[in-house]
């Protein structure tokens, strides 16, 4: 593959597998068969939200690093508060460095500035708060990648640094204006391009303070979870147990933070992926749940419960064909998975495929005659066919199953 790019991307793109030739111009290139702008590839490849290739990391820092970050803090956080002033509407996506200063109140963290082209006012403010300015080390994107690789978290407005952190597989929190760039989509706090990204959106135009209140609360939880894991992360089972206890006690944000930290340390932890998917689903963040369930199944494709959970997410989203596909996959792994059979009945009833629905409902009752809701739905399906005798009989079964007479 031949790639033409800006000079500041040359060293970074040299780390990409499959790139055989790099150039800063389109002149004097080796022979090639086809040419396409990079941003046209999603259209050419018919990319959809479901097929976005998010196999991270696909970028890497150079083997040799010009500098090293040293700190006793357990959580190293890089910040970026402004994009290039040459960009149209840059003022909408950028905030002020002073907005970030409130994050310095969070204990057990060290903050580093990844911002390029600082004003003297910002440089002075960083100096006053003892925040290291890394801009002198950042000559190109490879240098920035080296800095990011030494951090635990990047918090950035919508800039190239946010995209770079996502491509490096680093945890990145992206702070978005009320009307964001199209790549961040709408009404979600995750992003299909970057599974390690978490999005914080303005609830009102130009209101950065409310957004930073949420970021500060999330960072405090993340730092607490990080401290627990940093001190002693030798027993993954104990950390998973703690995260599950938080989840079961209703402390969803703390549970999410700890699961994210576990995944950061042990990316292939299947149980953390499953439970994080469950928590995201419970919060209504269905696309984020899909990402984690799919990653868990990539690691272990034979967990019927996770396949079932993925099917339920698609059913919640109204994507019935995908739901049907994953319910059938559930039954391939566990043929007597009653809830999956019952949900297939519900889907086929919703699609007005009444005979199929009746077949699935009867299969449920052959496995578990006490499934009250299935008696009810089977009765409805039979009534739709005009079989009043059997339909009303199922309603009678519903009553007998669902209620106990107390005297």
Identify whether residues 80 and 38 lie together within a single domain: no
352: left (phi over 0), alpha (psi -120 to 50) or beta: left
Q: Which residues, 6+ apart, have CB-to-CB distance to 312 below 8 Å?
A: 281, 323, 343
Kindly state whether residues 25 and 141 are assigned to the same domain: no
Q: Are residues 146 and 28 in the same domain?
A: no
Domain stop point among 176, 199, 224:
224
Which tens digit of pLDDT belongs to each residue from 166-206?
Answer: 999 999 999 999 999 999 999 888 899 998 999 999 999 99
CATH number at 89 reads: 3.40.50.2000
CA distance 278 to 282: 6
In this structure, the answer to whether residues 30 and 89 fall within a common structural domain is: no
- pLDDT for 73: 65
Does residue 240 lie within any of the structural domains?
A: no
| Shared-domain flag, residues 38 and 81 | no
Q: Please give the tally of structural domains in the chain.
A: 2
Do residues 90 and 147 both lie within one domain?
yes
Q: Say whether both 7 and 82 belong to one domain.
A: no
Query: 3-class secondary structure for 226-263?
Result: HHHHHHCCCCHHHHHHHHHHHHHCCCHHHHHHHHHHHH
Do residues 123 and 206 share a domain?
yes
Note whether 213 and 87 are same-domain residues: yes
Q: How far apart are CA 274 and CA 276, in angstroms?
A: 6
10 & 116 share domain:
no
Percent of the chain that is helix, strand, coil (3-state, to 5): 55, 10, 40
Domain final position from 224, 244, 279:
224
Please report whether residue 80 resides in a domain: yes
pTM of the model: 0.61
Identify whether residues 18 and 89 lie together within a single domain: no
**In this structure, what is the dihedral angle of CA atoms 212, 215, 217, 220, given to the nearest 10 degrees?**
-120
Residues 6+ apart with CB under 8 A from 6: 24
Provide the CB-side half-sphere exposure for 246 (13 A, CA).
Answer: 22
Give the pLDDT score at 398. Answer: 59
Which stretches in the chain have pLDDT values below 50?
232-234, 401-407
107-141: per-residue pLDDT in tens?
A: 889 999 999 989 999 999 999 999 999 999 999 99
**Dist CA 306 CA 308 (whole Å):** 5
Inside any domain, residue 210? yes
Residue at 129 is within a domain: yes
Query: Does residue 218 sit in the same domain as residue 82?
Result: yes
197: left (phi over 0), alpha (psi -120 to 50) or beta: beta
Q: Last residue of some domain: 224, 243, 268? A: 224
In a domain, 9, yes or no: yes
Residues of the domain holding 150: 75-224
Q: Identify whether 229 is part of a domain.
A: no
Evaluate whether residue 267 is within a structural domain: no
Residue 68, domain member (yes or no):
no
Return the pLDDT at 227. Answer: 64
């Amino acid at each position: 593959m031949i790639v033409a790019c800006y000079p500041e991307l040359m060293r970074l793109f040299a780390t990409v597998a499959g790139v055989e030739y790099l150039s800063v111009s389109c002149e004097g290139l080796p022979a090639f068969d086809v040419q396409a702008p990079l941003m046209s590839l999603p259209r050419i490849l018919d990319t959809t939200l479901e097929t976005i290739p998010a196999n991270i990391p696909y970028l890497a820092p150079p083997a040799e690093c010009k500098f090293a970050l040293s700190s006793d803090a357990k959580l190293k956080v890089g910040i970026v508060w402004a994009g290039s002033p040459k960009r149209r509407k840059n003022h909408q996506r950028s905030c002020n460095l002073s907005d970030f200063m409130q994050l310095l109140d969070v204990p057990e963290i060290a903050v580093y500035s990844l911002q390029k082209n600082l004003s003297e006012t910002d440089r002075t403010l960083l100096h006053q708060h003892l925040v290291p300015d890394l801009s002198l080390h950042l000559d190109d994107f490879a240098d920035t990648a080296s800095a990011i690789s030494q951090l635990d978290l990047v918090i950035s407005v919508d800039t190239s640094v946010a995209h770079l952190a996502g491509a490096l597989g680093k945890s990145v929190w992206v702070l978005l204006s009320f009307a964001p760039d199209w790549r961040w989509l709408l009404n979600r706090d995750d992003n299909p391009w970057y599974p390690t990204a978490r999005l914080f959106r303005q609830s009102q135009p130009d209101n950065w303070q409310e957004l930073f209140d949420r970021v500060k609360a999330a960072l405090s939880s993340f730092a607490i979870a990080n401290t627990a894991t940093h001190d002693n992360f030798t027993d993954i089972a104990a950390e998973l147990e703690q995260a599950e206890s938080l989840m079961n006690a209703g402390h969803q944000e703390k549970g999410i933070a700890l699961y994210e930290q576990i995944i950061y340390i042990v990316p292939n932890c299947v149980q953390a992926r499953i439970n994080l998917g469950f928590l995201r689903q419970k919060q209504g963040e269905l696309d984020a749940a899909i990402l984690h369930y799919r990653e868990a199944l990539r690691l272990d494709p034979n967990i019927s419960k996770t396949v079932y959970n993925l099917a339920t997410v698609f059913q919640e989203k109204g994507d019935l064909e995908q739901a049907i596909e994953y319910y059938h996959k559930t039954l391939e792994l566990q043929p007597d998975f009653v809830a999956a059979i019952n949900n297939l009945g519900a889907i086929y009833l919703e699609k007005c495929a009444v005979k199929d629905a009746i077949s699935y409902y009867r299969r449920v009752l052959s496995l578990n005659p006490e499934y009250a809701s299935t008696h009810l739905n089977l009765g409805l399906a039979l009534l739709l066919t005009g079989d009043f005798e059997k339909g009303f009989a199922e309603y009678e079964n519903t009553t007998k199953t669902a209620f106990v007479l107390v005297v």
